């Protein structure tokens, strides 16, 4: 039974459970809803929840676990000799899966009866041609071992699917029946539903955290793998970045790190003053009408995809800078892609982050502080400079650090605006590249995934992760430490 049907059946069971639970509660109270502990709908929800939650939980776990079990079983049927010279178990297993899929398709198209598919042997007919006519192309000739494994794969999968349907529906029915049995006028359905909702919310929150942990772990293991085949002292100590997939590459992080920091620095130099001044204007000087238009317009900048900023850098800002600083002008710039191009455009991208957060923070400074300052005869800008900005400073620092971590993690603008040369240079009109851009170029392409040239991407990712994590933690620390100064 397909999963979609299974889900629909459980949902239908839940609806039925809701109606039944509600009806049972009302009839148990002698049609007088005042005699119930909770509102009738709570009894219904209690039953529906107890149908759905265990059934869906088991379904999710099953969906994750079944492929593993089926794979292991099929793998155990493949003897060592079935793996040809120069191939790997993984490649053979993918053949097995293709054959199994092909058999499924053949049965579905009527080329093969279900019984024949299970008992087919290599000698009987040209399976490869048949699978081909069903729309599945198998690269190599099918060996008996592969066919046997594919047949086992199919049968285990079918048994698993059947068992899954039975267990899931059965759990739903049992849960619903137990909940219905609980249902009587004195049952505290409202509290039970409250606990259930709490559990669901906790589940959602922990899923987010678990995913983060998963991401970090995958980074960590691949990073360890990288350092096993490439010395860490070279990675952190070398000032040269020259990967060559033929081997003998030098993978020093410093040119990339320098590019990242240089571009981020320029981006912050652009975005922090402009964003901050815009925020001060919007929150202190602008009239309500202008503010109502300008603030959403500024925040619109944050909604533009970074690839569009990249185009802007490549097609507009780069040539513009080149015409001023290039060979026809001051002669500092060789090509349109440069640190300055990417930094300027990234700065524009970050303006709304700084201004929007700072604006909220400045607005949160109590009006009484402004009144106090005006009452002493201070002008608006004196008040802003000496009272409002100091009071809002922790929040503003937090906003800037968040913008900085965005800048460090930005990829698209760098790929399109900064060039691809990894170099250590002080000239902001030179092309440089960043950690993120190099992660992209190391992983895309047809590199061997076990080579240090590909695995270095994970070490770079880990470095970035640690950097932005550090910045975020520092931002949170600053914000927390000074937050309650004026409360």
Partner 1 sequence: MYDSPLRKTEVDTNASKISARDVQVYYGDTHAIKDVNVEILDKTVTAFIGPSGCGKSTFLRTLNRMNDTIDICRVEGLIELDGEDIYDKRVDPVQLRAKVGMVFQKPNPFPKSIYDNVAYGPRIHGLARNKAELDEIVEKALRRGAIWNEVKDRLDAPGTGLSGGQQQRLCIARAVATEPEVLLMDEPCSALDPIATSQVEELIDELRENYSVVIVTHSMQQAARVSQKTAFFHLGNLVEYGDTSQIFTNPVDPRTESYITGRIG
List contacts with partner 1 (CB under 8 A): 287-288, 366, 368-379, 382, 386-387, 390-391, 485-486
C-alpha to C-alpha distance for 41 and 1, rounded to whole angstroms: 32
> What is the smallest separation between the CB atom of 292 and partner 1, expressed in angstroms?
14
**CB-nearer residue toward partner 1: 243 or 394:** 394
DSSP state of 360: H
> What is the smallest separation between the CB atom of 371 and partner 1, expressed in angstroms?
6
Detail the DSSP E strand segments found in 162-309.
241-242, 250-251
Kindly list the distances between the CA atom of residue 197 and the CA atoms of 45, 171, 187, in Å, as whole numbers in the listed order.
Answer: 10, 20, 17
C-alpha to C-alpha distance for 295 and 173, rounded to whole angstroms: 54
Give me 77's structure tokens. 């049927």
Kindly list the distances between the CA atom of residue 7 and the CA atoms of 14, 16, 199, in Å, as whole numbers in the listed order.
Answer: 11, 14, 21
Residue 251, helix vs strand vs coil: strand
> What is the smallest separation between the CB atom of 384 and partner 1, expressed in angstroms?
12
Half-sphere exposure of 163 (CA within 13 A, CB side): 10
**CB-nearer residue toward partner 1: 203 or 366:** 366
C-alpha to C-alpha distance for 108 and 111, rounded to whole angstroms: 8
Kindly list the distances between the CA atom of residue 106 and the CA atoms of 2, 7, 110, 131, in Å, as whole numbers in the listed order.
Answer: 18, 27, 6, 7
**CB-nearer residue toward partner 1: 268 or 396:** 396
Query: Of 390, 395, 404, 407, which Cα lies nearest the Cα of 359?
Result: 395
C-alpha to C-alpha distance for 406 and 468, rounded to whole angstroms: 8
> What is the smallest separation between the CB atom of 367 and partner 1, expressed in angstroms?
9
Q: 363: burial class by Cβ within 10 Å (0-12, 13-18, 19+)?
A: middle
**CB-nearer residue toward partner 1: 188 or 380:** 380
CA gyration radius, the chain: 32
User: Is residue 17 a contact partner of residue 47, using CB atoms and an 8 Å limit?
Assistant: yes
**CB-nearer residue toward partner 1: 239 or 285:** 285
**CB-nearer residue toward partner 1: 28 or 390:** 390
> What is the smallest separation between the CB atom of 380 and partner 1, expressed in angstroms?
9
> What is the smallest separation between the CB atom of 356 and partner 1, expressed in angstroms?
23
Residue 250, helix vs strand vs coil: strand
> What is the smallest separation between the CB atom of 403 and partner 1, expressed in angstroms?
24
> What is the smallest separation between the CB atom of 388 and partner 1, expressed in angstroms?
10
DSSP state of 329: T
**CB-nearer residue toward partner 1: 150 or 387:** 387
> What is the smallest separation between the CB atom of 487 and partner 1, expressed in angstroms?
9
**CB-nearer residue toward partner 1: 212 or 379:** 379
**CB-nearer residue toward partner 1: 374 or 474:** 374
Detail the DSSP E strand segments found in 121-220.
none
């Amino acid at each position: 039974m397909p999963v979609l049907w299974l889900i629909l059946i459980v949902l239908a069971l839940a609806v039925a459970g809701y109606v039944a639970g509600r009806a049972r509660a009302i009839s148990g109270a002698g049609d007088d809803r005042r005699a119930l502990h909770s509102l009738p709908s709570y009894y219904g929800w209690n039953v529906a929840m107890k149908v759905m939650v265990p059934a869906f939980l088991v379904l999710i776990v099953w969906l994750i676990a079944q492929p593993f079990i089926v794979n292991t079983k099929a793998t155990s049927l493949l003897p060592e000799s079935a793996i040809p010279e120069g191939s790997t178990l993984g490649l053979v297993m993918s053949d097995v899966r293709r054959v199994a899929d092909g058999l499924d398709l053949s049965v579905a198209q009527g080329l093969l009866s279900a019984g024949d598919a299970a008992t087919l042997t290599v000698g009987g007919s040209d399976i490869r041609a048949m699978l081909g006519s069903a729309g599945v192309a198998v690269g190599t000739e099918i060996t008996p071992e592969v066919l046997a494994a594919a047949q086992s794969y199919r049968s285990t999968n079918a048994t698993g699917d059947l068992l899954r349907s039975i267990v899931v529906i059965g759990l739903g029915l049992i849960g619903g029946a137990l909940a219905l049995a609980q249902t009587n006028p004195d049952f505290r359905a409202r509290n039970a539903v409250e606990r259930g909702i709490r559990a669901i919310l906790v589940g959602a929150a922990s899923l987010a955290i678990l995913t983060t942990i998963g991401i970090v772990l995958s980074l960590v293991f691949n990073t360890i793998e990288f350092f096993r085949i490439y010395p860490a002292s070279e990675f952190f100590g070398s000032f040269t970045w020259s990967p060559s997939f033929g081997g003998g590459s030098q993978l020093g992080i410093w040119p990339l790190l320098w590019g990242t920091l240089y571009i981020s620095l320029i981006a912050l130099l652009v975005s922090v003053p402009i964003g901050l001044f815009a925020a001060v204007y919007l929150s202190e000087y602008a009239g309500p009408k202008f503010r109502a238009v300008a603030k959403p317009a500024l925040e619109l900048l944050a909604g533009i995809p970074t690839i569009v900023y990249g185009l802007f850098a490549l097609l507009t800002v780069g040539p513009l800078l080149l015409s001023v600083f290039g060979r026809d002008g001051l002669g500092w710039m060789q090509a349109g892609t440069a640190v300055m191009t990417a930094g300027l455009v990234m700065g524009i991208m970050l303006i709304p982050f700084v201004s929007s957060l700072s604006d909220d923070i400045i607005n949160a400074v109590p009006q009484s502080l402004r009144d106090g300052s005006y009452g002493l005869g201070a002008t608006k800008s004196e008040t802003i400079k000496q009272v409002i900005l100091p009071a809002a400073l922790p929040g503003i620092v937090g906003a800037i650090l968040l913008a900085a971590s965005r800048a460090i993690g930005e990829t698209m603008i760098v790929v399109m605006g900064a060039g691809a040369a990894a170099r250590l240079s002080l000239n902001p009109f030179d092309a440089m590249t960043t950690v993120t851009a190099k992660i992209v170029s190391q992983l895309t392409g047809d590199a061997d995934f076990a080579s240090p040239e590909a695995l270095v991407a994970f070490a770079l990712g880990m470095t970035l992760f640690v950097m932005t994590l550090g910045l975020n933690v520092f931002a949170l620390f600053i914000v927390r430490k000074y937050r309650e100064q004026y409360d």
